[in-house]
Amino acid sequence: MYDYLINEYVKRLTTDEIKDFAFSKGVELTEDETNLIFSTIKTKWRTFVHGNPRPILNEIKTQVRPLTYNKIETLYVEARDKYLK
């Protein structure tokens, strides 16, 4: 059930929503960062929900600014602790 709901949300997700969310958390994303995050969410969300996203996070870390990565890491940990336990 949850997979279906998450999948439907991800299907409708836009890059503008990603930029707006990041901005609401105090981070202005570059266009490249926005596209990378968008692509990662669209193709790898199941790994974040059900698997070990560490390799994905390590790859992202090499492609975004440190401030952006730190915020991604923080938000992932918060979401994992709140929703995935």
Q: Give the C-alpha separation, 32 to 3, whole Å.
A: 28
Total domains present in the chain = 1
Would you say the pTM of this structure is higher than 0.85? yes
DSSP conformation class of 38: H
* Mean pLDDT confidence for 10-17: 98
- The domain of 54 spans 2-83
Query: Which residues are CB-contacts of 61 (< 8 A; sequence separation ≥ 6)?
Result: 69
pLDDT confidence of 60, banded at 50, 70, 90?
A: very high
pLDDT of residue 23: 96
